[in-house]
Amino acid sequence: MKKKPTPKPTSKPKEADKGLSLGDFLSSEMAEQLKQIKKDKEQEIQKQKEEEAARKQFEAKQREKNKSFEELLNESRMDWKKYK
């Protein structure tokens, strides 16, 4: 049996809706509220990034502080054989 080809639905935008955007449907007060929410969210994300960077820096300092003498000696650039 042959399958019948199904017609593809075509959704053409109406000419009246072409020039309209979401901003046209919102009141100016609502648009301002959304802009403020977006600004607050961006500030919150920036604050989180700064806190994360500070936390990583603190952890790196703690790791450096808690290294054993052997680790420090191995990382040293000096040639200790000269001083024997």
Q: Which domain holds residue 62?
A: 27-83
- C-alpha to C-alpha distances, 36 to 33, 39, 40, 58, nearest whole angstrom: 5, 5, 6, 33
pLDDT at 83 over 90: no
Let me know if residue 69 belongs to a domain: yes
Q: How far is the C-alpha of 62 from the C-alpha of 54, rounded, in Å?
A: 12
Neighbouring C-alpha atoms within 13 Å toward the C-beta of 65: 6
Domain count, the chain: 1
Mean pLDDT of the chain: 81
Let me know if residue 45 belongs to a domain: yes
Contact between 73 and 80 under an 8 Å Cβ cutoff? The reply is: yes
Q: How far is the C-alpha of 28 from the C-alpha of 33, rounded, in Å?
A: 9
What pLDDT score was predicted for residue 84?
65
Between 31 and 17, the more confident residue is: 31
Q: What are the pLDDT digits (tens) for 29-61?
A: 888 899 999 999 999 999 999 999 999 999 999
Q: How far is the C-alpha of 49 from the C-alpha of 43, rounded, in Å?
A: 10
